[in-house]
A and B are shown apart, each in its own frame.
Chain A
Amino acid sequence: MFTHIMVPVDLAHTGALERALAVSADLAKQHGATVTYVAVHAATPGAVAHTPEEFSEKLAAFAAGQGSAHGVTAQSHDVVSHDPSVDLDDKLMAAADEIGADLIVMASHVPGLADHLWPSNGGKIARHFKRSVFVVRGE
């Protein structure tokens, strides 16, 4: 049913991704799909890396680690954004189109009051993305 699953990741907060990572790996195995781990980041130095190149390497290493841990075919794809806080959703959806993903599996928090003002990234992508989206919430 699915051939290419995209999993957005935040390398600075991988702890919050555990459930989404497990779900995506299960689905990939079940459908024989490829998993692409996608991250959006700025070109400025951040907590994860000091250069965009270093970031790409870390993401590739992360993807390789996930691939061998779960036994799935894993790739990585990183997107440089001028303003990641704001552009995240659009960049992720553009990336999904670019790599040809037919399913996005992404972690999100439990919706609260703030979501009325700032919808969560997962919520926004589920609403606007043209193909399937699996939003994996907290506990």
Chain B
Amino acid sequence: MTDESANQGIPAPEGASDIIETDYEIGQDNIETKIGPFGLDIHNPVFLISGISIVLFVFYTLALPEQAGGVFTWLFNFVTQQFDWFFLSAGNIFVLFCLLLIVTPVGKVRLGGAAATPDYGYAGWFAMLFAAGMGIGLMFYGVSEPMSHFGTSLGGIAVGEDGMRTDWAPLGGAEGDVEAAERLAFAATIFHWGLHPWAIYAVVALALALFTYNKGLPLTIRSAFYPILGDRVWGWWGHLIDTLAVFATLFGLATSLGFGATQANAGLNELFGIPVGPTTEVLLISGITAIALISVLRGLDGGVKILSEINMGLAFVLLLFVLLVGPTVAILTGFVEYLGAYLQYLPALANPIGREDVNFEQGWTSFYWAWWISWSPFVGMFIARVSRGRTVREFIICVLLIPSLVCVLWMSVFGGAAVEQVVADGYTAAQDAPLELKLFKMLAELPLAGLTSLIGIILVIVFFVTSSDSGSLVIDTITAGGKVDAPVPQRVFWCIFEGAVAIVLLLSAGGLASLQSMVISTGLPFTIVLLIMCWAIWRGLRAERNA
């Protein structure tokens, strides 16, 4: 151990943790300066490169919309169609790796050292990781995805002239068999929202938490690469990794904020007749950004945590309502049956090679995997930020198994109620409605539709606020070289920047869609990153056990 007083950056191992020794001092590359009256503490060059390249990309998309659209769509198709086997295989590896961590002795390792105590209680912790992970997706896909698979499964297989399947049914479909189609539809939906996405998040979050809390490296994506790149992570390799993460996070947030605004607008139109158009959408984005700003200014505990808890409470109330007022028995038996169907179809759905259901496998599964992976730096880093003090076993159980079960429950209740409406009552409004309205059409069949739809819209908006807020925190931390105590104006900047990018893209034709394609394409390089992370986690945990 080097003399501590000589160099502040040399870590001191405390308790049973295996700190990595490096001469890098956190914040050594940072610039502390003032722009106008505002103090800044930013990483050089990650902050500037990320900011400038984001602006350039927005300009490119605006100046040459057709060319940009073409390039990004091509890239997206190339990635999800050529590398489907790679995404599916990697997804399976992540799930198996996480399950392995639960049962092996390394599961005892505690994040933050043997003596660390959890930063957050179970309720607040779980609410935050769930809200960051997929809250918003569940609002939109809870009804629509099971219905979609149900319809295609029921339709059965269709083969084109070239011998390739032209239908979108999962696996072999279930032509004309309502019960089998229902089981297959829910198995496929749960497959996309269950173990696999959460394993992706768990890997990234665990890597970051381990290298930050136990190894003493800064809380940025590059730290997880230390076992491979060594001190080179503090140079251009690390700048590249961090910039890519900022890029994916900001564009991911901005595009979903843009799409979310269009969808919330449709919902408001359905309920209150508020006109659909750019004015309302810009107002919605501004409103969401403004609430996010207040939340950002209130900090992690006073902002994101409280909002996440409120939203989880509201979501639970809505879930309970649909469960009790809707077809209760059908939903409850459905929950057990769908879970069984998931386990039954899992090997076939997760099979990466020789698939005949190409449309489903590439258009749904491969797309989803790329999507989850492109979100993983953001969600993983946020989960890492709030998970100090948990053991690895506890961490994996709470980040992988419990959220998966909650997703099964959610899909069974919302999707189950909607499918039951079609099957039992012949009510097809939800089936026929566009994506953003399916939830509201389903609720319209139940009592108190006005109130529940309003709760639905509030949920959508607050989930966007928590995403925007936690995203700003993550980007700020990465662009401050891993410092979580950088001046507040910086995170305010990122929060506003994100809203502004969303508005600009929204107002340009096709801007949102083409940039979203680009974001999802970043899933490919990040998949390799995640595979490396698994190895790094394993090595890191082994060293920790021997510490």
Contacts and interface: CB of A to CB of B under 8 A. Distances in A.
Contact of B26 (A46, A112, A114): A46
Select the residue from A45, A50, A54, A114 with max chain B CB neighbours within 10 A.
A50
Nearest to A109: B39
Contact of B216 (A12, A45, A61, A83): A45
Interface stretch (B7-15, B85-93, B441-449): B7-15
Contacts of B17: 51
B219 interface: yes
7 contacts: A43-B119, A44-B385, A45-B482, A58-B4, A82-B301, A85-B488, A114-B36
B483 interface: yes
B432 interface: no
Interface residues of A, number: 29
Interface of B: 4-5, 8-9, 11-12, 14-15, 17, 19, 25-28, 36-39, 112-113, 116, 119-120, 212-213, 216-219, 297-302, 385-386, 388, 482-489, 491
Interface string A41-60: 11111111111111001100
A54 B26 CA distance: 14
Contacts of A52: 14
A47 B26 contact: yes
Interface string A68-89: 0000000000000011111100
Given A44-B212, A47-B8, 12 more contacts: A41-B485, A43-B213, A43-B388, A45-B216, A46-B483, A47-B9, A47-B27, A51-B12, A51-B19, A54-B11, A82-B300, A85-B485
B483 A47 contact: yes
Contact of B38 (A43, A58, A114): A114
Nearest to B15: A53
Contacts of A51: 11-12, 14, 17, 19, 113, 213, 216
A117 to B, nearest CB: 8
Interface of A: 12, 41-54, 57-58, 61, 82-87, 112-115, 118
A29 to B, nearest CB: 26
B152 to A, nearest CB: 45
A97 to B, nearest CB: 18
B487 A85 contact: yes
A43 B482 contact: no
A44 B15 CA distance: 16
In the A-B complex, the 5 residue pairs with the smallest Cβ-Cβ separation, listed nearest first, are: A86-B299, A50-B216, A114-B37, A53-B14, A50-B11
Contact of A44 (B9, B25, B482): B482
